Amino acid sequence: MGETTKIAISAAIQAGGSLFTPEQLAKISAAVGADAKIEMTTFKQLYAEVPLERRDAIKEDLERYGLEVYPAGFATKSLIACNFCKGAEETGLDTARTLNKAIAGIETPTPLKIGYAGCALGTSEPLLKDIGVVKMRDRFDIYVGGEPKGLKTFFAKLLVSGLTEDRLVPVVTAIIHFYKAHAKGKEKFSKFVDRVSLEQLQQIAG
């Protein structure tokens, strides 16, 4: 076997959560091969090792079945969204899909987790993500710097509240690109937030 690479496979963002159909699971199995190891990650992506020379063809094949395929490793993960239990329109399903399309797969100094919750219940645990988005009626609050790992976990801090829908994607992408440009080596995002300060990030959020 030649050189291999990892790909990250996600179900489409939808009401009900991360749902795979039997057909999609069968297609994943057929695409990566019977001997492949498939890892379920903590950010709702399946990691699979595939031949490097077949990566693009496998990606196209899986996407034809409604799956999403992104780079593994040091990149923004696909949006970790809630189950939209209060209804797609009220909880902003289309907004979450638009945000996911804008942010998933961006190369970053360390893996970046971005959470989305369609209401204050926060079932996707957005305050434990690097960047958390919470829909509050027709506006959005953004939190930054959550840390879920280790013995000293802590919640993300409120960066901006009352954001309109049209500003959501520009603000989140601006934060990601500022992190890319100014992180020191493989600096974790939570440490980056502490170092540059919430006030400076608020200026970036505009």
* Mean pLDDT, rounded, for 169-175: 98
Helix (H, G, I), strand (E, B) or coil at 191: helix
- Return the pLDDT at 171: 98
What is the overall mean pLDDT for the chain?
94
Q: Given 3-state DSSP classes, what are the helix, strand and coil percentages for the chain, each rounded to the nearest 5?
A: 35, 25, 40
Q: In terms of Cα–Cα distance, which of 154, 151, 99 is closest to 127?
A: 154
Q: In terms of Cα–Cα distance, which of 96, 4, 9 is closest to 45?
A: 9
Is the confidence at residue 158, as pLDDT, over 90? yes
Q: Where are the domains of the chain?
A: 4-71, 80-205
Return all residues near 87 (Cβ < 8 A) that are at least 6 apart.
15
Confidence category of residue 1, pLDDT binned at 50, 70, 90: low
Residue range 80-205, CATH number: 3.30.413.10
The overall pTM is greater than 0.85: yes
Confidence category of residue 26, pLDDT binned at 50, 70, 90: very high
* Mean pLDDT, rounded, for 9-25: 95
* Mean pLDDT, rounded, for 70-91: 95
Selecting from 3.30.70, 2.40.50, 3.30.200, 1.25.40, what CATH number does the domain 4-71 have?
3.30.70
Helix (H, G, I), strand (E, B) or coil at 175: helix
Cα-to-chain-centroid distance, residue 42: 11
Q: In terms of Cα–Cα distance, which of 34, 35, 38, 72 is closest to 55?
A: 72
